[in-house]
Amino acid sequence: MDFKDYYAVLGVSADADDKTIKKAYQKLAKKYHPDANPGDKTAEEKFKEATEAYQAISDPEKRRKYDELRQDYQQWQARGGRGNYNWDRWQSNPSGGSYTYTMSPEDFADIFGGSGGMGGFSFGGEGFSDFFSTLFGGAAGQNSGFAGASNVGRTQQGQDIEVEVQITLQEAYSGTTRVIRTGEKQIEAKIPKGVRTGSKVRLAGQGHPGFAGGKAGNLYLKIIITQDSQFERDGDNLKTKVSIDFYRAILGGEVSVRTFGGEFLLKIPPLSQSGKKFRLKGKGMPNLEKPSQQGDLYVEVLITLPDNLSENELSTLRDLAKKRGINV
């Protein structure tokens, strides 16, 4: 009978805590589960091996006994490993019988995905190794199958996946796509126009595969919109600022305003004050639920003074100031 290093099977250290052990098993179980690898005998064996290791060292009493055996076995090897190792004093329930490990619905959902309240499943002792059965009891069978490995309880929906995706405000205005890689799968995801930071785009059936014929989970894209250098978003409305020169502010005129839909000429009435706001209806962001409807764009004008006035221009302004009773 061969010794099994369960810590090595799970890829953890001998002093690993319960959380680390569980996380390691989750990773291996999802990777090698027979329902995710139909017909793959190698994957099934690795799944059995990982589950056996998890059962042995996730239970405090079993782990204590296993650790004692492991230490004794390593000392026997260090002494040269002469003769055959004496397994007799470690044997449990030598008369045989059966050993069954039952996974609760909560543990099943936690490890394999799906919602709580679904049925759990059992692993029968006939699938365990001689080593496990000798140490913890149960008959080590010759059956190469693994009870519950291919048809584990009720149908289980696969676990959902959530991926954070950053897009620009321009992309949120027009809609965009992103190539998303989940494991070995690559998906071109369409992101609709009008999304906001915190919006979740659902891609049905693109999550983790289901088990026992269950549906695959969903993939959710959590949208993060990066800060824009020109526009500030307020719901479906946008805010921006444009500079106008001294002369247009006094005499009126037109100024070009950039919108996500193209350039727009904004008419500035005479005697416009700095900070005055203009509303451009329907020039804001599309509504996520009703993309044909758009918010508004609010434009705040800021007056910039000329820095290259001639002496004659300055003289004219001084005369105008005097006529208005302003001493300069």
Helix axes 41-58, 60-78, angle to 10 degrees: 100
Q: What is the mean pLDDT of residues 105-122?
A: 47
Q: Can you give the residue ranges of every domain in the chain?
A: 6-136, 161-225, 232-323
Q: Give residue 204's pLDDT.
A: 93
Amino acid at 34: P
241 neighbors 216 (Cβ within 8 angstroms): no
Taking only the tens place, the pLDDT of each residue in 224-255 is: 999 999 999 999 999 999 999 988 998 999 99
Q: Do the domains 6-136 and 232-323 sit in the same CATH topology, yes or no?
A: no
280/266 Cα distance (integer angstroms): 9
> Could you give the CA distance from residue 254 to residue 281 in angstroms, rounded to a whole number?
17
Q: Which residues, 6+ apart, have CB-to-CB distance to 270 below 8 Å?
A: 250, 251, 252
Q: What is the pLDDT of residues 42-59, one digit of tens each?
A: 988 898 899 899 989 998
Give the whole-angstrom CA distance, residue 225 versus residue 238.
14
Reading the block at residue 36, the tokens are 């995710």
Within 11-142, where are the H helices? 18-32, 41-58, 60-78, 105-112, 130-136
pLDDT class of 141 with cuts at 50, 70, 90: very low
Look up the pTM and report it: 0.54
* Mean pLDDT across 259-274: 94
Q: What is the pLDDT of residues 58-90, one digit of tens each?
A: 989 899 999 999 998 898 888 887 778 888 878
Q: For the structural domain made of 6-136, what CATH number should be given? A: 1.10.287.110
- Look at residues 99, 204, 110 and name the one whose alpha carbon lies nearest to residue 141: 99
CATH 3.30.1300.10 fits 161-225, yes or no: no
Label residue 123 by pLDDT band (50, 70, 90). very low
Residue 97 predicted with pLDDT over 70: no
Maximum CA extent, the chain: 118
Q: Residue range 7-27: average pLDDT?
A: 93
Topology (CATH level 3) of domain 232-323: HSP40/DNAj peptide-binding domain (2.60.260)
83 three-state secondary structure: coil
DSSP 4: -
CB 120 within 8 Å of CB 212: no
